[in-house]
């Protein structure tokens, strides 16, 4: 079980609760489920923050993430029971969408899903032009196995060019376990390999700057941390542990 990890120097995802777009507010945007029992069920609340009735539907996609966070979405509506699948939400009102896992009860690895809370297309006229106005919010749902743990291994850490003329600290981790994990729940301690420079990143700072930091089982993820390394820094030691104060 990984709870304290370290990486000797090599040369070289706040926890979100609500997300809003122009016409709606959605919460939560991150949910963990089990494949059986009470924890196999959850709910998503959508609030219509607009001035007119909001038609909304829920679409389910299995989510696979690449090393740099590239998303591959595969439709998987049959993996969940959703009630109601669609709703007309009056202005200022809210709608609760209840969801329940309908897949196998004995999954061996975590599975990740992107629930797309979509505004059903409506038309409006502006300056004589007919436009389709559509908004969408993503809710991330991870279903973990009844047994099994995450096992994060730090692959490398060090300063790199950020592609925008600056430098950041790169952190690459691999999850060798069977359960997903989130770097946004961890404390990351960075230190210059030769001593001196030191920087701590708390869970809330990582979540605000990077995101939830989802690391799926069997996957490697690369993150650019919200840290500008000092000039001359070439090697970094990194340590990751649970942030008890998040």
Q: Does residue 7 carry a pLDDT above 50?
A: no
Please check the confidence at residue 121 and state whether its pLDDT lies above 80.
Answer: no
Nearest-angstrom CA–CA distance, 40 and 79:
12
Note the pTM of the prediction, 2 decimals.
0.86
**Per mean pLDDT, which range of 97-101, 124-128, 182-186 is the poorest?**
124-128
CATH 2.60.40.10: which residues of the chain? 19-143
Kindly indicate the confidence band of residue 12, based on its pLDDT and cuts at 50, 70 and 90: very low
Locate tokens 């939400």: which residue?
Answer: 89
Say how far apart CA 195 and CA 180 lie, in whole Å.
33
CATH 3.40.630.30 given to domain 19-143? no
Phi, psi of 86 (to 5 degrees): -140, 160
Tens digits of per-residue pLDDT, 169-206?
999 999 999 999 999 999 999 999 888 899 999 999 99
What are the tens digits of pLDDT across the range 46-64? 999 989 899 999 999 999 9
C-alpha torsion sign, points 138, 243, 178, 191: positive
Q: Is pLDDT at 2 greater than 70 in this prediction?
A: no
Give the residue among 238, 210, 243 at the shortest CA–CA distance from 224: 210
The residue with greater pLDDT, 12 or 64, is 64
Secondary structure percentages of the chain, helix, strand, coil, to 5:
5, 55, 40
Q: What's domain 4-15+149-242's architecture?
A: Sandwich (2.60)
In terms of phi and psi (left: phi > 0; alpha: psi -120 to 50; beta: otherwise), the region of 56 is: beta
What integer pLDDT is reported at residue 86 of this predicted model?
Answer: 96
pLDDT of residue 168: 93
């Amino acid at each position: 079980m990984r709870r304290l990890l370290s990486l000797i120097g090599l040369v070289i995802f706040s926890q979100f609760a609500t997300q809003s777009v122009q016409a709606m507010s959605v919460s939560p945007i991150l949910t963990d489920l089990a494949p059986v029992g009470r924890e196999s069920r959850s709910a998503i609340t959508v609030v219509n923050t607009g001035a007119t009735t909001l038609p909304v539907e829920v679409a389910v996609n299995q989510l696979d993430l690449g090393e740099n966070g590239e998303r591959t979405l595969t439709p998987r509506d049959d993996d969940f029971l959703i009630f109601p699948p669609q709703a007309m939400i009056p202005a200022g009102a809210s709608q609760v969408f209840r969801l329940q896992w309908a897949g196998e009860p004995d999954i061996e690895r975590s599975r990740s899903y992107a629930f797309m809370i979509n505004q059903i297309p409506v038309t409006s006229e502006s300056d004589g032009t007919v436009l389709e106005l559509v908004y969408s919010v993503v809710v991330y749902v991870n279903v973990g196995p009844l047994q099994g743990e995450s096992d994060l291994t730090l692959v490398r850490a060090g300063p790199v060019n950020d592609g925008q003329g600056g430098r950041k600290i790169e952190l690459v981790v691999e999850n060798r376990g069977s359960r997903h994990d989130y770097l946004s729940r961890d404390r990351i301690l960075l230190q210059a390999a030769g001593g001196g420079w030191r920087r701590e990143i708390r869970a809330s700072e990582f979540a605000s700057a990077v995101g939830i930091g989802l690391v799926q089982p069997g996957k490697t993820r690369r993150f650019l941390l919200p840290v500008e390394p000092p000039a001359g820094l070439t090697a970094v030691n990194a340590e990751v542990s649970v942030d008890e104060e998040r």
